[in-house]
Structure 1
């Protein structure tokens, strides 16, 4: 293993922990299949004990995704490890990843109770015992066990070596020493690994792993420094998403190892880099987190040149200003313009070049939607095409409410007014309501509230352009609060007022479905309790 780097992708676990980045089970499964096509070595699919949805996502990925090792996270607790093992049971190549805090700061915060010991020395002994028990239990389910010393970057290196020795003796095969808080700088993070490896003298089969957060913008730099210190696994996420400022970005780590391969001793990386950009955009669509245009490797501007000197140089010889080829990371250096006069051949040729396959039975539908969009926009860009293919076509046929019509009137010397026609699916009735507001969006939302019959607490409203040009598609994201729970709605359209209305209504539909499910659950629970009361009376 000394000649290759294992790429451990934690987009579906640590990446999804970024506030607002949660994904549905189906979205996770699609991304897991894409990560398999990307040829990552390990997919950390989730944290099964944390929720039924997390458990089911890990179970389905383990069952359906072939190729990479499928990994599940577990605290150093028996119930966590058993849940991880149960979720992974359908998989052929699986790993349990267990962890425990080791820094004095984390020990004080998490092991303050006297049952763990009265002194720091006693608490440290407890952590050693829990480490051994957790790893030994995990080994009863799989030979592939990873152990992480949480906040290793701020842990006393002598004690850290003790913890690592204990984990290896108990059967761990991968040792992860994470910079959990993004506190380290490259030379000290590398020095930590060198010191631990020197003190422990691990057997040759043990793989050391780096897991870095980007709080100081050093996650990729720290990961690469760790490689030069002997690490052979890097834990990373697509687009660098994750807790707080995020994790090391997979695409940046991989391309640094490939472009500067001689600096890393010729180490091999198995990633199929031509899929990087498409994977990046898939994750962006699923999470709602836009990829900044200046993002390294996968950003829209990563291979663009505007300055005259740069353009001249690149036209003469691309490597004057480009250190890698756009094609090698799935970007397209040329721009083919599409508009209302484009035919089927031009459209589907461009989609194929973008790596987007459209099945024969969807081509007519995609072409009709393309023509409809072309009537609204002067030019269709690549991002328009991706969203055209990914977008929902028929909406949610079970949604409680459907927007049928909307009219908005506004002017310099009048308050904006909105009229909406809302179809109530449960009663098969159409309600028409009007309202005025501080602005057109406020008027629309008040009119929708009247049509629904109740007001809603708007937590946030965000509007961004998701494509290029003056007639760009706008994406609106809203969050509604109901009894402390947040419900998200997202909609896209060239008409941002329409997108605003549809996003608000989608959030209301999610809220109403939650309310209905909650009421049904309460009804069933009360009925069961009444049955028991009757039986004991």
Structure 2
């Protein structure tokens, strides 16, 4: 398979900001947008301009700041939404309007009280109107994950004829299994006239914990854009995590797909977004969590000390983490204790290590984690001097 690029569409500032309590002001959005541009994302979805004056202003200011990425504004399939978004994007070097409508039976019947035919008409009208302002128009088929594939193909073909350049196939409720979502993308690739002229985009939610898996299944079946957020933040259980899909594609080159993301900025960017949004990253979060490169089991620690790749498939430095972490607990073995002791200045003989380890276990049974000061106390009790003593 040839080496093909997948575009990274970051929606941290739009979908990610919809998390209750995570509202950002314009100044904070500008800081994050600048970092996203440095990170190498292809598209920054800067907001939903018609939703509030503050969001409009944020999108407007972001377009003045961003140097490389396309800047995108979200709209409903409503003329005023589209007109306002176009105004907010007027200074963008690469403007994109993202418009669309729900296509599942549930949305058509209960949300719009409409018919499949009228929904297509509304979508076509929205795409054509957006196209009168910008060349780059992305259409989203909301709840595509639960939309009948034959009807979804009809929708997509109509939007291509109307001028859409990107087709977003969202698993809005996080319902799909990876094989289902991948098959949906493949069905569109094989059954939509003109599909090769546009980019298919994956926008997956994490309600069942499958957002990343579904996005990878999507690109494996022909999608060439992934919509995601830093730390996987977003409504309900969140969105596809940018750092996860980027590193999956990097660690599995046989997929023949790559991104232009500077992975060494991932950890620092994660910390920035967490701080600005007041949204803690769970310690066991893949790639950027505090425990992602931490080892506390004696067996794992011994293996990592001997050769990092024994238990780590990613070099921490590749994502901006300084080094692996050996965490000392009651589950730690002699090798881990000797390793940490050496780091803080103690070269232990085998006999010394045997004695010190017994005392270490007594400490460890009373504490969740042994710190350097605890090791110093233990060494002092055995009259063992460090290199700096």
TM-score after normalising by structure 2:
0.82
Look up the SS of the partner of 2:172 in the other structure: coil
Look up the SS of the partner of 1:198 in the other structure: helix
Aligned to 2:281: 291
Which structure carries more strand by proportion? 1
1:137 aligns with 2:129: yes
Aligned to 1:186: 178
Look up the SS of the partner of 2:197 in the other structure: coil
Aligned to 1:44: 45
Look up the SS of the partner of 1:223 in the other structure: helix
How does 1:504-523 map onto structure 2 within 5 Å? none
Q: Deviations over 1:85-128 (max 9, x none)?
A: 0000011111000010110101122212xxx4xxxxxx211111
1:175 aligns with 2:170: no
Distance, in Å, in 1 between the alignment partners of 2:103 and 2:73 is 21
Any conservation in 1 of the 2:70–2:96 contact (CA below 8 Å)?
Answer: yes
How does 1:347-496 map onto structure 2 within 5 Å? none
Question: Which of residues 279, 286, 300 is equivalent to 2:290?
Answer: 300
1:150 aligns with 2:142: yes
Distance, in Å, in 1 between the alignment partners of 2:288 and 2:76 is 34
Question: Which of residues 237, 261, 270 is equivalent to 1:271?
Answer: 261
Any conservation in 1 of the 2:156–2:192 contact (CA below 8 Å)?
Answer: yes
Question: Which of residues 271, 276, 279 is equivalent to 1:281?
Answer: 271
Distance, in Å, in 2 between the alignment partners of 1:203 and 1:244 is 32
Any conservation in 2 of the 1:11–1:44 contact (CA below 8 Å)?
Answer: yes
1:322 aligns with 2:312: yes
Aligned to 2:351: none
Distance, in Å, in 1 between the alignment partners of 2:257 and 2:6 is 7
Q: Which protein shows a greater Rg? A: 1
Look up the SS of the partner of 2:226 in the other structure: strand
Instruction: Please identify runs of 4+ aligned residues in structure 1 that moved more than 2 A.
Output: 201-205
1:244 aligns with 2:224: no
Look up the SS of the partner of 2:206 in the other structure: coil
Distance, in Å, in 2 between the alignment partners of 1:85 and 1:143 is 11
* Superposition deviation, residue 159 in structure 1: 1.1
Distance, in Å, in 2 between the alignment partners of 1:84 and 1:250 is 25
Aligned to 1:339: none
Any conservation in 1 of the 2:188–2:195 contact (CA below 8 Å)?
Answer: no
Distance, in Å, in 1 between the alignment partners of 2:234 and 2:46 is 14
* Superposition deviation, residue 158 in structure 1: 1.2
Aligned to 1:124: 116
Look up the SS of the partner of 1:271 in the other structure: coil
Aligned to 1:161: 153
Gaps of 5+ in 1: 117-122, 336-467, 470-537
Aligned to 2:301: 311
Q: Deviations over 1:9-52 (max 9, x none)?
A: 00000000111111111111100001011100100000001011
Distance, in Å, in 2 between the alignment partners of 1:203 and 1:77 is 25
Distance, in Å, in 1 between the alignment partners of 2:302 and 2:179 is 39
Look up the SS of the partner of 2:119 in the other structure: helix
* Superposition deviation, residue 2 in structure 1: 7.4
Q: Deviations over 1:46-88 (max 9, x none)?
A: 0001011110110000111111000000111100000110000
TM-score after normalising by structure 1:
0.59
Any conservation in 1 of the 2:64–2:91 contact (CA below 8 Å)?
Answer: yes
Q: How many residues align?
A: 326
Distance, in Å, in 1 between the alignment partners of 2:52 and 2:172 is 23
Question: Which of residues 196, 219, 226 is equivalent to 2:188?
Answer: 196
Distance, in Å, in 2 between the alignment partners of 1:203 and 1:80 is 27
Aligned to 1:28: 29
Gaps of 5+ in 2: 326-369, 372-389
Q: Deviations over 1:250-288 (max 9, x none)?
A: 0001001101121x1x21210000000111111101111
Any conservation in 1 of the 2:186–2:222 contact (CA below 8 Å)?
Answer: yes
Q: Deviations over 1:272-330 (max 9, x none)?
A: 00000111111101111101111110011111111122111111111001101101001
Aligned to 2:348: none
* Superposition deviation, residue 203 in structure 1: 4.6
Distance, in Å, in 2 between the alignment partners of 1:37 and 1:88 is 20
Aligned to 2:78: 77
* Superposition deviation, residue 334 in structure 1: 6.3
Aligned to 1:505: none
CA RMSD of aligned residues (A): 1.5
Look up the SS of the partner of 2:213 in the other structure: helix
Any conservation in 1 of the 2:157–2:195 contact (CA below 8 Å)?
Answer: no
Look up the SS of the partner of 2:273 in the other structure: helix
